[in-house]
């Protein structure tokens, strides 16, 4: 039984090749992986076929596993609602982000060049549309690091303001006591 899901970002559709086997125009998912289990949990059942909009450029097909954990799977019509499709894309995005960050920092810790880390990631994760175009991952890392620096700056500025207010309070109390 196959169900389809819209995944808007090209890089995430490519990333699915790393997560699942691709056969007969469908990704075979299994409940023994976190992502597979999550996708299976988003499948809905109906006694009648459910009409859904279908964009062939943005959709992927998932072949559902034969499992006793989902007994109604092959007895009824299966589909993934639009809201659940967005949840799946969000979950795949989070999985991708975590995988990328871990891979990037491990590569940098090994003193590899940024270009080599990015190219290795692209090849190892089967991101075929990104081969020869590492700029998107480079920009993603830059934005991530910029966000972290901004958060650190804001925390430090808040700390300085609090300490400054405490110092002013002590000085005012001391001057009032004289």
Cα angle, residue 39 at apex, residues 38 and 44 outer, rounded to 5°: 115
Domain contains 116: no
State phi, psi for 6 to the nearest 5 degrees: -85, 125
Interstrand relation of 59-63 and 26-28 (parallel, antiparallel or unpaired) = parallel
Q: Answer yes or no: is pLDDT of 7 > 70.
A: yes
Q: Answer yes or no: is pLDDT of 28 > 80.
A: yes
Q: Answer yes or no: is pLDDT of 132 > 60.
A: no
Torsion of the alpha carbons at 57, 58, 64 and 70, rounded to the nearest 10: -150
The 10 Å CB-count burial string (b at 16+, else e) for 154-173 is: eeeeeeeeeeeeeeeeeeee
Q: Do residues 147 and 156 touch, judged by C-beta distance below 8 A?
A: no
Domain contains 47: yes
Tokens of 61: 């097909």
Token pair 């086997």 in the structure block, residue: 21
Q: Do residues 31 and 65 touch, judged by C-beta distance below 8 A?
A: yes
Count how many residues are written for the chain.
Answer: 178
Domain contains 43: yes
Domain contains 16: yes
Tokens of 46: 């109906």
Domain contains 171: no
Q: What gap in Å lies between CA 79 and CA 42, rounded to an integer?
A: 9
Q: Do residues 89 and 9 touch, judged by C-beta distance below 8 A?
A: yes
Average pLDDT over residues 123-135: 69
Average pLDDT over residues 11-29: 92
What is the per-residue pLDDT for 158? 86
What is the per-residue pLDDT for 116? 86
Domain contains 50: yes
User: How many structural domains does the chain have?
Assistant: 1
Count the alpha carbons within 13 Å of 120 in the hemisphere toward its beta carbon: 13
Domain contains 109: no
Closest-CA residue to 10 (of 133, 107, 99, 175): 133
Domain contains 138: no
What is the per-residue pLDDT for 142? 65
Look up the domain containing 27 and give its range.
Answer: 2-95
């Amino acid at each position: 039984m196959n169900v389809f899901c819209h995944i808007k970002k090209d890089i995430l559709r490519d990333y699915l090749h790393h997560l699942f086997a691709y056969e007969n125009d469908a990704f075979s998912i299994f409940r023994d992986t976190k992502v597979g289990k999550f996708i299976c949990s988003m499948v809905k059942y109906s006694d009648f076929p459910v009409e859904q909009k279908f964009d062939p450029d943005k959709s992927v097909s998932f072949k559902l596993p034969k499992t006793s954990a989902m007994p109604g799977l092959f007895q009824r019509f299966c589909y993934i609602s639009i809201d659940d499709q967005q949840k799946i894309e969000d979950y795949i995005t989070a999985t991708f982000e975590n995988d990328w960050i871990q891979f990037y920092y491990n590569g940098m810790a090994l003193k590899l060049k940024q270009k080599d880390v990015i190219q290795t990631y692209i090849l190892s994760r089967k991101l075929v549309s990104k081969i020869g175009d590492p700029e998107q991952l480079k920009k993603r890392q830059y934005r991530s690091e910029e966000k972290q620096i901004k958060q650190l700056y804001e925390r430090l500025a808040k700390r300085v303001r609090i300490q400054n207010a405490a110092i002013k309070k002590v000085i005012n109390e001391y001057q009032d006591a004289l």
